[in-house]
Amino acid sequence: MVDRIIKRLYTFFIVLFLYAPILVLIVYSFNDSKYRGSWNGFTLKWYLELLRNFEVRQALEYTLIIAILSAIISTIIGTIAAIGIYGMPVFSKKVVLNLNYLPVLNPDIVTAVSLMTLFRFLRIELGFTTMLLSHITFCIPYVILSILPKLKQMNKHLIEAAMDLGATPLYALIKVVIPEIMPGIITGALIAFTLSIDDFVISFFNSGPSVTNLSITIFSMARTGINPAINALSTLMFISILALLLIINSRSSKSINKKRGELYEN
């Protein structure tokens, strides 16, 4: 009984430590004062200010466009790469996996400066395209690492059985492999989307003067003071991501319960 209480308290304090800053941010998004050190009453004016602030809205548009595109493209490339790596001989697989770990283990500043140097060498003007390519490059290794465990869990004889029944390799890939690893693909896409929204260093070094995302905008505001509209925007983004995760987990739970029901019926 005592052990159970201690474990629950321990879990509670960990969750509190992780989410206390976000809760403070949410509370102060309704603060009537522009200054974070005082509470002057409840207001929704910062949410209205968010709609009128062109700089923040433009940064949000670029952030979402780049995050969605980079998530989609890196997920497609990462899925193909993960399937290819899974089918490699043991030695080749180890070599490629170690190369895939490098961008993950490298400090972001190394990847950012390397990509910027490459774009300069290729005489590509820094802007929307370079930022998008940088985010795709940054996200691909994480997608691969999300999908490979699902490939290892998959019964490899399913593909052989499908091809023995007359399926072409492409048809077996689409109808057998992809559905089996779909949870890993969704996880990889969500990680890529989150990393793209969160990234600052790679965006800062590989964006042009005409393109900026939220992280760069907030960094530039930090010198003169953060606009409270950013608190409102952060609150909306947190609620949206939380709702998305709840929907995905709910659908996953229903799918698992459905499969269990089918197994019991059989």
What pLDDT score does 28 carry? 85
Position 67 scores a pLDDT of 93
Residue 36 counted as domain residue? yes
Indicate whether 61 and 152 sit together in one domain. yes
Residue 149: Cβ within 10 Å count: 14
101 with 195, same domain: the answer is yes
71 and 191 in a common domain: yes
Average pLDDT, integer, range 197-224:
84
Q: What whole-number distance in Å separates Cα of residue 76 and Cα of residue 140?
A: 9
Q: Are residues 112 and 189 in the same domain?
A: yes
| Same domain assignment for residues 191 and 135 | yes
Give the residue numbers spanning the domain of 70.
Answer: 53-229
pLDDT tens digits for 9-31?
889 899 888 888 888 888 888 88
Same domain, 39 and 95: no
Residue 266: Cβ within 10 Å count:
5
Pair 66, 39 in one domain:
no
Are 47 and 197 in contact by the 8 Å Cβ rule? The answer is: no
Average confidence (pLDDT) over 217-244: 82
Is residue 241 in some structural domain? no
pLDDT of residue 24: 87
Tokens 């474990």 sit at which residue? 7
Which string of b and e fits 243-258 if b means at least 16 CB within 10 Å?
Answer: eeeeeeeeeeeeeeee
Is residue 257, in this structure, part of any structural domain at all? no
The reported pLDDT for the residue numbered 261 is 62
Going by pLDDT thresholds of 50, 70 and 90, the confidence category of residue 202 is very high
Find, among 127, 123, 82, 112, the residue nearest to 202 by Cα. 112
Residues 83 and 181 in one domain: yes
The Cα 254–Cα 252 span in angstroms is 5
Q: Please state at what angle helix 128-153 crosses helix 90-105, rounded to 10 degrees.
A: 140
CATH number of the CATH domain containing 167: 1.10.3720.10
Asked if residue 160 is part of any domain, the answer here is yes
Looking at the domain assignment, is residue 236 inside a domain? Answer: no
253 occurs within a structural domain: no
Residue 64 lies in a domain: yes
Measured distance CA(216)–CA(211) in Å, rounded: 10
**Segment among 106-110, 192-196, 222-226 with least mean pLDDT:** 222-226
Contacts of 83 (CB under 8 A, 6+ apart): 147, 151, 173, 177
- Give the tens place of pLDDT for each residue, 109-159: 999 999 999 999 999 898 899 999 999 999 999 999 999 988 888 877 787
Task: Calculate the dihedral angle through the C-alpha atoms of 21, 22, 25, 29, rounding to the nearest 10 degrees.
Answer: -170
Same domain flag for 65 and 84 = yes
- Note if the pTM is more than 0.85: no
Spatial distance between the Cα atoms of 182 and 197, rounded to a whole number of angstroms:
23
What is the reported pLDDT for 140?
Answer: 94
| 133 and 110 assigned to the same domain | yes
Quick one: 29 and 152 in the same domain?
no
220 or 201, which is more confident? 201
- Is residue 140, in this structure, part of any structural domain at all? yes
Q: Judge if 28 and 74 occupy the same domain.
A: no
pLDDT > 60? residue 161: yes
Name the domain count of the chain.
Answer: 2
